[in-house]
Amino acid sequence: MTSASAQIELIDLYSDEGRIFNLQDDTWYAVDVARTSVNIQVEWNRSDYIDSLGPSARKLREWIQVSGTEGKAYASTIEDYVKMCWPRLAHFLDPFIDFLLDSAPTSDPIDVQPGLTLTMARQDDSIEIRATGDTTDLVQLIQQLAWLATALRRNPDAGRLLAASVTIQTTGSALSIRAEPLRPLEEGGGGDDDVPGSCWLPMFRGRVLARGFPVPERRGGEPGVELCCDVLDLLPGPPWFDLRRCKGGVALVSETAAIIPYRKDGEAGSIRWYYMEASRKELTMEEVERRYAGEVQKTEIWDLWPRREFVG
Protein backbone atom coordinates (compact mmCIF):
# COMPACT_ATOMS: atom_id res chain seq x y z
CA MET A 1 0.00 0.00 0.00
CA THR A 2 1.28 3.43 -0.81
CA SER A 3 1.01 5.18 2.56
CA ALA A 4 0.09 4.64 6.19
CA SER A 5 -2.93 6.90 5.82
CA ALA A 6 -4.23 4.67 3.03
CA GLN A 7 -3.71 1.41 4.87
CA ILE A 8 -6.60 -1.05 4.94
CA GLU A 9 -6.82 -2.72 8.33
CA LEU A 10 -8.89 -5.71 9.39
CA ILE A 11 -11.10 -3.38 11.44
CA ASP A 12 -12.26 -1.95 8.09
CA LEU A 13 -13.65 -5.36 7.12
CA TYR A 14 -15.23 -6.61 10.33
CA SER A 15 -17.63 -5.38 12.98
CA ASP A 16 -16.90 -5.61 16.71
CA GLU A 17 -18.60 -9.02 16.69
CA GLY A 18 -15.97 -10.36 14.29
CA ARG A 19 -18.36 -10.69 11.35
CA ILE A 20 -18.47 -8.97 8.00
CA PHE A 21 -20.57 -5.88 8.71
CA ASN A 22 -23.63 -4.52 6.90
CA LEU A 23 -22.09 -4.30 3.46
CA GLN A 24 -24.64 -1.84 2.11
CA ASP A 25 -23.65 0.78 4.68
CA ASP A 26 -20.41 2.41 3.56
CA THR A 27 -20.23 4.85 6.49
CA TRP A 28 -19.45 2.46 9.33
CA TYR A 29 -15.72 2.11 8.74
CA ALA A 30 -13.21 4.88 9.39
CA VAL A 31 -11.14 4.58 6.22
CA ASP A 32 -9.41 7.62 4.82
CA VAL A 33 -10.42 7.97 1.18
CA ALA A 34 -7.11 7.69 -0.63
CA ARG A 35 -5.85 6.07 -3.79
CA THR A 36 -3.66 3.06 -3.17
CA SER A 37 -2.74 -0.41 -4.44
CA VAL A 38 -3.05 -3.77 -2.77
CA ASN A 39 -2.13 -7.38 -3.55
CA ILE A 40 -4.93 -9.80 -2.64
CA GLN A 41 -4.38 -13.54 -2.59
CA VAL A 42 -7.53 -15.66 -2.50
CA GLU A 43 -6.86 -19.26 -1.49
CA TRP A 44 -9.54 -21.91 -1.82
CA ASN A 45 -10.14 -25.11 -3.78
CA ARG A 46 -11.78 -23.35 -6.72
CA SER A 47 -10.99 -26.05 -9.31
CA ASP A 48 -12.66 -28.69 -7.14
CA TYR A 49 -15.78 -26.53 -6.96
CA ILE A 50 -15.89 -25.74 -10.68
CA ASP A 51 -15.36 -29.40 -11.61
CA SER A 52 -18.24 -30.42 -9.32
CA LEU A 53 -20.65 -28.20 -11.27
CA GLY A 54 -19.98 -29.85 -14.62
CA PRO A 55 -21.80 -28.24 -17.58
CA SER A 56 -23.90 -26.08 -15.22
CA ALA A 57 -20.77 -24.06 -14.33
CA ARG A 58 -21.62 -21.68 -17.17
CA LYS A 59 -24.78 -20.77 -15.27
CA LEU A 60 -22.89 -20.08 -12.04
CA ARG A 61 -24.35 -16.57 -11.73
CA GLU A 62 -27.83 -18.09 -11.41
CA TRP A 63 -26.82 -20.65 -8.78
CA ILE A 64 -28.78 -20.38 -5.52
CA GLN A 65 -26.48 -19.63 -2.59
CA VAL A 66 -27.30 -19.33 1.13
CA SER A 67 -25.67 -16.73 3.39
CA GLY A 68 -26.07 -15.79 7.06
CA THR A 69 -26.49 -18.06 10.07
CA GLU A 70 -28.57 -21.07 11.09
CA GLY A 71 -31.17 -18.79 12.67
CA LYS A 72 -31.25 -16.04 10.01
CA ALA A 73 -30.18 -16.70 6.43
CA TYR A 74 -30.87 -15.48 2.91
CA ALA A 75 -31.11 -17.63 -0.22
CA SER A 76 -30.53 -15.84 -3.51
CA THR A 77 -28.70 -16.22 -6.77
CA ILE A 78 -25.00 -15.41 -6.65
CA GLU A 79 -25.59 -12.51 -9.02
CA ASP A 80 -28.42 -11.02 -6.94
CA TYR A 81 -26.47 -11.26 -3.68
CA VAL A 82 -23.50 -9.42 -5.18
CA LYS A 83 -25.81 -6.70 -6.55
CA MET A 84 -27.49 -6.36 -3.16
CA CYS A 85 -24.30 -6.08 -1.10
CA TRP A 86 -21.87 -4.40 -3.50
CA PRO A 87 -23.90 -2.47 -6.08
CA ARG A 88 -20.95 -0.21 -6.93
CA LEU A 89 -18.75 -3.20 -7.75
CA ALA A 90 -21.35 -5.61 -9.13
CA HIS A 91 -19.68 -5.56 -12.57
CA PHE A 92 -16.66 -7.37 -11.09
CA LEU A 93 -18.61 -10.64 -10.88
CA ASP A 94 -18.68 -11.31 -14.64
CA PRO A 95 -14.92 -11.07 -15.31
CA PHE A 96 -14.21 -12.95 -12.08
CA ILE A 97 -16.41 -15.91 -13.04
CA ASP A 98 -15.08 -15.86 -16.60
CA PHE A 99 -11.54 -16.06 -15.21
CA LEU A 100 -12.53 -18.99 -12.98
CA LEU A 101 -13.92 -20.91 -15.94
CA ASP A 102 -11.20 -20.09 -18.47
CA SER A 103 -7.62 -21.38 -18.51
CA ALA A 104 -5.70 -18.16 -19.15
CA PRO A 105 -2.88 -17.69 -16.59
CA THR A 106 -3.53 -13.96 -16.29
CA SER A 107 -6.32 -11.54 -17.13
CA ASP A 108 -6.21 -8.33 -19.08
CA PRO A 109 -6.53 -5.17 -16.97
CA ILE A 110 -10.13 -4.81 -15.81
CA ASP A 111 -11.81 -1.46 -15.13
CA VAL A 112 -14.35 -2.49 -12.48
CA GLN A 113 -15.58 1.08 -12.31
CA PRO A 114 -14.00 4.50 -12.85
CA GLY A 115 -10.98 4.68 -10.56
CA LEU A 116 -10.76 0.95 -9.73
CA THR A 117 -8.53 -1.20 -11.94
CA LEU A 118 -7.23 -4.71 -11.35
CA THR A 119 -5.55 -7.72 -12.90
CA MET A 120 -5.87 -11.39 -11.92
CA ALA A 121 -3.35 -14.24 -12.08
CA ARG A 122 -3.50 -17.94 -11.20
CA GLN A 123 -1.16 -19.53 -8.69
CA ASP A 124 -1.85 -23.23 -8.16
CA ASP A 125 -5.26 -23.26 -6.45
CA SER A 126 -5.29 -19.58 -5.58
CA ILE A 127 -5.92 -16.35 -7.44
CA GLU A 128 -3.76 -13.27 -6.97
CA ILE A 129 -5.35 -9.90 -7.63
CA ARG A 130 -3.47 -6.64 -7.98
CA ALA A 131 -5.94 -3.78 -7.50
CA THR A 132 -5.55 0.00 -7.54
CA GLY A 133 -8.27 2.37 -6.43
CA ASP A 134 -9.81 4.32 -3.57
CA THR A 135 -9.63 2.57 -0.20
CA THR A 136 -13.42 2.58 0.07
CA ASP A 137 -13.71 0.62 -3.18
CA LEU A 138 -10.86 -1.70 -2.21
CA VAL A 139 -12.56 -2.56 1.08
CA GLN A 140 -15.73 -3.53 -0.80
CA LEU A 141 -13.69 -5.52 -3.32
CA ILE A 142 -12.08 -7.50 -0.50
CA GLN A 143 -15.47 -8.09 1.10
CA GLN A 144 -16.87 -9.40 -2.19
CA LEU A 145 -13.86 -11.67 -2.71
CA ALA A 146 -14.21 -12.99 0.83
CA TRP A 147 -17.85 -13.88 0.16
CA LEU A 148 -17.07 -15.52 -3.18
CA ALA A 149 -14.30 -17.63 -1.63
CA THR A 150 -16.76 -18.63 1.09
CA ALA A 151 -19.75 -19.35 -1.14
CA LEU A 152 -18.07 -21.08 -4.08
CA ARG A 153 -17.17 -24.27 -2.21
CA ARG A 154 -17.92 -27.91 -2.97
CA ASN A 155 -19.73 -29.73 -0.19
CA PRO A 156 -18.49 -33.36 -0.14
CA ASP A 157 -21.41 -34.39 2.06
CA ALA A 158 -24.54 -34.68 -0.09
CA GLY A 159 -26.66 -35.42 2.95
CA ARG A 160 -26.42 -32.10 4.79
CA LEU A 161 -25.71 -28.38 4.60
CA LEU A 162 -22.23 -27.38 5.81
CA ALA A 163 -20.96 -24.01 7.05
CA ALA A 164 -18.20 -22.24 5.11
CA SER A 165 -15.98 -19.38 6.31
CA VAL A 166 -12.70 -17.64 5.51
CA THR A 167 -9.94 -15.88 7.43
CA ILE A 168 -8.47 -12.55 6.31
CA GLN A 169 -4.88 -11.62 7.16
CA THR A 170 -2.68 -8.66 6.24
CA THR A 171 1.10 -8.66 5.87
CA GLY A 172 2.58 -5.33 4.85
CA SER A 173 1.05 -4.36 1.52
CA ALA A 174 -0.43 -7.82 0.92
CA LEU A 175 -3.72 -9.31 2.06
CA SER A 176 -4.75 -12.97 2.01
CA ILE A 177 -8.20 -14.54 2.07
CA ARG A 178 -7.99 -18.20 3.04
CA ALA A 179 -10.84 -20.72 3.10
CA GLU A 180 -11.38 -22.55 6.38
CA PRO A 181 -12.48 -26.23 6.56
CA LEU A 182 -16.21 -26.79 6.17
CA ARG A 183 -18.01 -27.67 9.38
CA PRO A 184 -21.40 -29.18 10.29
CA LEU A 185 -24.48 -27.23 11.32
CA GLU A 186 -27.20 -28.31 13.70
CA GLU A 187 -29.85 -29.94 11.55
CA GLY A 188 -33.43 -28.70 11.72
CA GLY A 189 -36.59 -30.63 11.05
CA GLY A 190 -38.81 -29.88 13.99
CA GLY A 191 -37.16 -31.53 16.97
CA ASP A 192 -37.39 -29.95 20.40
CA ASP A 193 -33.63 -29.31 20.43
CA ASP A 194 -33.44 -27.59 17.05
CA VAL A 195 -31.90 -24.16 16.66
CA PRO A 196 -34.93 -21.80 16.46
CA GLY A 197 -35.85 -21.19 12.84
CA SER A 198 -33.59 -23.97 11.52
CA CYS A 199 -36.14 -26.35 10.01
CA TRP A 200 -35.03 -25.11 6.57
CA LEU A 201 -31.53 -26.64 6.71
CA PRO A 202 -32.46 -29.94 4.98
CA MET A 203 -33.79 -27.99 2.00
CA PHE A 204 -30.20 -27.09 1.10
CA ARG A 205 -28.43 -30.36 1.81
CA GLY A 206 -25.34 -30.82 -0.32
CA ARG A 207 -24.62 -27.07 -0.37
CA VAL A 208 -22.73 -24.62 1.85
CA LEU A 209 -23.85 -21.73 4.04
CA ALA A 210 -21.65 -18.64 3.68
CA ARG A 211 -21.66 -18.12 7.42
CA GLY A 212 -21.56 -14.68 8.99
CA PHE A 213 -22.42 -12.66 5.91
CA PRO A 214 -25.34 -10.21 6.07
CA VAL A 215 -28.99 -10.74 5.29
CA PRO A 216 -31.63 -8.13 4.40
CA GLU A 217 -33.24 -6.37 7.35
CA ARG A 218 -36.34 -8.13 8.68
CA ARG A 219 -39.16 -5.85 9.72
CA GLY A 220 -40.93 -8.56 11.68
CA GLY A 221 -37.84 -10.23 13.14
CA GLU A 222 -38.66 -13.45 11.26
CA PRO A 223 -36.32 -16.39 11.92
CA GLY A 224 -35.14 -18.86 9.31
CA VAL A 225 -34.11 -18.43 5.70
CA GLU A 226 -35.58 -15.75 3.44
CA LEU A 227 -36.10 -16.93 -0.11
CA CYS A 228 -35.46 -14.77 -3.14
CA CYS A 229 -37.91 -16.81 -5.22
CA ASP A 230 -41.03 -18.89 -4.85
CA VAL A 231 -40.60 -21.42 -2.06
CA LEU A 232 -41.91 -24.14 -4.37
CA ASP A 233 -38.91 -23.67 -6.68
CA LEU A 234 -36.51 -24.69 -3.90
CA LEU A 235 -38.22 -27.77 -2.52
CA PRO A 236 -36.00 -30.85 -2.91
CA GLY A 237 -36.96 -34.19 -4.38
CA PRO A 238 -39.91 -34.97 -6.65
CA PRO A 239 -41.89 -31.84 -7.54
CA TRP A 240 -45.33 -33.26 -6.93
CA PHE A 241 -46.63 -31.51 -3.80
CA ASP A 242 -50.36 -31.80 -3.26
CA LEU A 243 -52.50 -29.18 -1.56
CA ARG A 244 -54.04 -30.71 1.57
CA ARG A 245 -56.47 -29.33 4.14
CA CYS A 246 -54.92 -29.25 7.57
CA LYS A 247 -56.52 -27.98 10.79
CA GLY A 248 -58.46 -25.17 9.16
CA GLY A 249 -55.61 -24.19 6.88
CA VAL A 250 -53.64 -25.74 4.05
CA ALA A 251 -50.35 -27.59 3.64
CA LEU A 252 -48.26 -28.64 0.67
CA VAL A 253 -47.50 -32.33 1.12
CA SER A 254 -45.44 -34.84 -0.87
CA GLU A 255 -44.50 -38.43 -0.12
CA THR A 256 -41.47 -37.38 1.94
CA ALA A 257 -41.88 -33.71 2.94
CA ALA A 258 -44.38 -30.98 3.73
CA ILE A 259 -44.34 -27.22 3.84
CA ILE A 260 -46.92 -25.35 5.87
CA PRO A 261 -47.83 -21.63 5.88
CA TYR A 262 -47.15 -21.04 9.54
CA ARG A 263 -47.59 -17.33 10.17
CA LYS A 264 -48.48 -14.25 8.13
CA ASP A 265 -47.37 -10.77 9.17
CA GLY A 266 -49.49 -8.21 7.38
CA GLU A 267 -47.51 -5.23 8.67
CA ALA A 268 -44.15 -6.70 7.63
CA GLY A 269 -45.64 -8.13 4.43
CA SER A 270 -44.18 -11.56 5.06
CA ILE A 271 -45.24 -15.19 5.22
CA ARG A 272 -43.41 -17.72 7.38
CA TRP A 273 -43.38 -21.35 6.28
CA TYR A 274 -42.56 -24.46 8.27
CA TYR A 275 -40.66 -27.26 6.49
CA MET A 276 -40.65 -30.86 7.66
CA GLU A 277 -39.56 -34.24 6.34
CA ALA A 278 -40.79 -37.74 7.04
CA SER A 279 -39.33 -39.40 10.12
CA ARG A 280 -39.59 -42.68 8.25
CA LYS A 281 -39.76 -43.58 4.57
CA GLU A 282 -43.12 -41.96 3.85
CA LEU A 283 -44.75 -38.87 5.34
CA THR A 284 -48.26 -39.34 6.70
CA MET A 285 -50.91 -36.71 7.27
CA GLU A 286 -50.92 -37.73 10.92
CA GLU A 287 -47.32 -36.52 11.17
CA VAL A 288 -48.18 -33.29 9.38
CA GLU A 289 -51.15 -32.57 11.64
CA ARG A 290 -49.17 -33.46 14.74
CA ARG A 291 -46.48 -30.91 13.88
CA TYR A 292 -48.84 -28.30 12.41
CA ALA A 293 -49.20 -25.21 14.55
CA GLY A 294 -50.01 -22.74 11.81
CA GLU A 295 -51.97 -19.55 12.38
CA VAL A 296 -52.73 -19.01 8.68
CA GLN A 297 -56.33 -19.95 8.06
CA LYS A 298 -56.46 -19.76 4.27
CA THR A 299 -58.38 -22.08 2.00
CA GLU A 300 -56.42 -21.18 -1.15
CA ILE A 301 -52.63 -21.41 -1.17
CA TRP A 302 -52.36 -18.68 -3.80
CA ASP A 303 -53.83 -16.17 -1.32
CA LEU A 304 -50.44 -16.21 0.40
CA TRP A 305 -48.51 -14.57 -2.48
CA PRO A 306 -46.87 -12.22 -3.25
CA ARG A 307 -44.94 -11.30 -0.09
CA ARG A 308 -41.53 -11.87 1.48
CA GLU A 309 -41.13 -15.58 2.15
CA PHE A 310 -39.33 -17.17 5.09
CA VAL A 311 -38.88 -20.81 6.04
CA GLY A 312 -38.04 -21.41 9.67
Phi, psi dihedrals of residue 97, rounded to the nearest 5°: -65, -40
User: Which domain, by its residues, includes 290?
Assistant: 234-311
Query: Mind listing the pLDDT tens digit for each residue in 13-58?
Result: 555 444 454 444 444 344 556 788 899 999 999 889 999 988 888 8
**Domain end marker among 167, 184, 201:** 184
149 lies in the same domain as 238: no
- Amino acid 17: pLDDT: 44
The answer to the question of residue 225 being in a domain is no
Tell me how far apart the alpha carbons of residues 141 and 112 are, in angstroms, rounded to a whole number.
10
Tell me how far apart the alpha carbons of residues 311 and 118 are, in angstroms, rounded to a whole number.
40
Phi, psi dihedrals of residue 143, rounded to the nearest 5°: -60, -45
Regions of the chain short of the pLDDT cut 50? 1-6, 10-11, 16-19, 21-30, 188-194
Tell me how far apart the alpha carbons of residues 124 and 151 are, in angstroms, rounded to a whole number.
20
Phi, psi dihedrals of residue 187, rounded to the nearest 5°: -70, 140
The answer to the question of residue 196 being in a domain is no
The answer to the question of residue 266 being in a domain is yes
- Amino acid 30: pLDDT: 45
- Amino acid 196: pLDDT: 61
109 lies in the same domain as 246: no
The answer to the question of residue 57 being in a domain is yes
144 lies in the same domain as 248: no
- Amino acid 191: pLDDT: 41
Measured between alpha carbons, how far is residue 28 from residues 16, 118, 134, 136 in Å? 11, 25, 16, 11
9 lies in the same domain as 93: yes
The answer to the question of residue 161 being in a domain is yes
Output the pTM of the full model.
Answer: 0.84
74 lies in the same domain as 165: yes
34 lies in the same domain as 154: yes
141 lies in the same domain as 272: no
175 lies in the same domain as 284: no
Query: Mind listing the pLDDT tens digit for each residue in 111-157?
Result: 999 999 999 999 888 999 999 998 888 888 999 999 999 999 999 99
**Domain end marker among 144, 169, 184:** 184
- Amino acid 19: pLDDT: 45
- Amino acid 170: pLDDT: 80
Tell me how far apart the alpha carbons of residues 117 and 110 are, in angstroms, rounded to a whole number.
6
- Amino acid 177: pLDDT: 92
Question: What is the strand order of the sheet 162-164 is part of?
Answer: 183-184, 162-164, 208-211, 64-68, 72-77, 224-227, 308-311, 270-277, 257-265, 249-253, 242-246
- Amino acid 25: pLDDT: 42
Q: How many domains, the chain?
A: 2
The answer to the question of residue 208 being in a domain is no
36 lies in the same domain as 175: yes
The answer to the question of residue 48 being in a domain is yes
- Counting every residue, how long is the chain? 312
**Domain end marker among 126, 151, 184:** 184
> Under a CB-based contact definition with an 8 Å cutoff, are residues 247 and 289 in contact?
yes
Tell me how far apart the alpha carbons of residues 86 and 137 are, in angstroms, rounded to a whole number.
10
56 lies in the same domain as 155: yes
29 lies in the same domain as 144: yes
146 lies in the same domain as 61: yes
The answer to the question of residue 26 being in a domain is yes
Biggest alpha carbon–alpha carbon distance for the chain: 68
